Structure 1
Amino acid sequence: VYGGAGAIQGPLLAAELGINRVLVPSAPSVFCALGGLVSELSHDSMETVHGTDVDGAVVGSKFARLRGHAVEWLSRQVAAEHLISTTFECWAEMRYVGQSFQVDVRLPDKAVETGDLVALEEAFHREHERVYSHCDRTAPVEFVNLRVRVRGGMLIPEPSAPPMLKGGEAVKGMRSMRFQGKTYPDVRIYERALLSEDTTINGPAVIEQPEATIVVPPDYSAEVGAYGSIFMTRS
């Protein structure tokens, strides 16, 4: 679970769904932001080329221009040193003349580079057959849109345990809490940064950190794992 309040509701929701284990990462409130920083970048550059009067040279030149747009977009998103890979895919929306809907076709790179229109149309026939279980290689084919998709693989940092505070007691106090209509008068409150790996806490308990609160219900136990993650298991 993630989010500042996710670990409050997560165990209760998991119990309703019959899920017996809940994982709380070390920084749940910024978990989505972390994913946004390290997830793969992807962008489509597209140009309309509606019609049948398109030859291999035209297709090749348009894809070259779209690739340039894709490179420019990627350079605006992230510094090159943060990328571990860059890949390009050439796609086309194609259809038989008279069709109302086009088929999205992944085009062979070699056919795009050489402007091999026959191979490009054959890719459409195969995809049309895969989608609709038939094709007509004698029917004229038209292009609707050309698209270049660029993917940038991001450098993902090695996971590490958050720094532990020293010289303090993990239990910082007690408070009264109610779970499912029952009052628990002496529920322990823990400081997450003072919990060492392999520490086990039986619920009910509360684990606090500056940006999130973790509630361990009475029928759960919490164990501190590697990298500061907390695993809550329902008994």
Structure 2
Amino acid sequence: MMMSDLRRDYFVTRLVDLAEGAGANIEALFAETEAQARAQFEEEGIDPSRVSFLRFGKFRYQNQEHTTEVLLPEGEVSDAKLAEIEALFHETYEREYTYRLDAPVEMVGIHLVASAEVGKLTMAEQPLGDADASPAEKGRRVVDFALEGEHESVIFDGPSLKPGMEFAGPAIVEDPGTTIVINPRSSARVDAYGNVHIELGE
């Protein structure tokens, strides 16, 4: 999550028939929404020039209830592009519903995706230490491994496991974010990034 780019989605409802003059109206709506997005990113310290956009239109056949979202071609929306946009709608609609209609098409709104790249963290390797994992042990208890039956198992404290440590199942690693099960006859090791690798036994 910390390495994800920043993203905002903007949805604006606007009913527009795909007729002459509609291109300019749709382009103006996107331009207004993009300006709003740049301003919001700038308030958070993001250079507006770093913000990129994906434009989607939500279309339907006139007098129908259901809409279909279509990724619009790059560049400015103009009357010259309306036929291409309408063709994309027909293709997308037929792919989703298995048929198309010979009926007028209208736009019911836009969906603008605004995103900005953030600096990515670089994972740093840690030196591998002692293979002895006993310092991370927190106790023992009987665990039911279903097919393998019940076995007394070592319980490890996940945050206390260090790179280089190795141990064999049956074992349980209790971590604040997850629980890792190492079945009987399987083994585990902690790599230089803190990942637990499990080698399955036969």
Q: TM-score, normalised to structure 1's length?
A: 0.62
Instruction: Count residues with an aligned counterpart.
Output: 189
Retained in 1: the 8 A contact 2:133–2:166?
no
Q: Determine whether 1:119 maps to 2:89.
A: no
3-state SS, counterpart of residue 125 of structure 1: helix
Matched with 1:20 is: none
Partner AA of 1:158 in structure 2: T
Matched with 2:116 is: 152
CA RMSD of aligned residues (A): 3.7
Structure 1 residue 192: deviation in Å? 5.8
In the superposition, relative to structure 1, how do residues 221 and 99 fare at CA in structure 2: closer, same or farther (>3 Å)? Answer: same
Retained in 2: the 8 A contact 1:66–1:147?
no
Structure 1 residue 119: deviation in Å? 1.0
Retained in 2: the 8 A contact 1:86–1:151?
yes
Matched with 2:66 is: 101
Partner AA of 1:87 in structure 2: S
Retained in 2: the 8 A contact 1:171–1:190?
no
Structure 2, unmatched stretches of 5+, are: none
Matched with 2:3 is: 38
Structure 1 residue 72: deviation in Å? 2.9
Deviations 1:22-66 (A, max 9, x none): xxxxxxxxxxxxx2x222333222322214275332222211110
- Bigger fraction of residues in helix: 1
Matched with 2:93 is: 131
Matched with 1:64 is: 31
In the superposition, relative to structure 1, how do residues 211 and 102 fare at CA in structure 2: closer, same or farther (>3 Å)? Answer: closer
Distance 2:158 2:56 in 1: 52
Matched with 2:187 is: 221
In percent, how many aligned pairs have the same letter? 25
3-state SS, counterpart of residue 226 of structure 1: coil
Retained in 2: the 8 A contact 1:165–1:194?
no
Structure 1 residue 111: deviation in Å? 3.7
Higher relative contact order (CA 8 A, sep 6+): 1
Matched with 1:7 is: none
Structure 1, unmatched stretches of 5+, are: 1-34
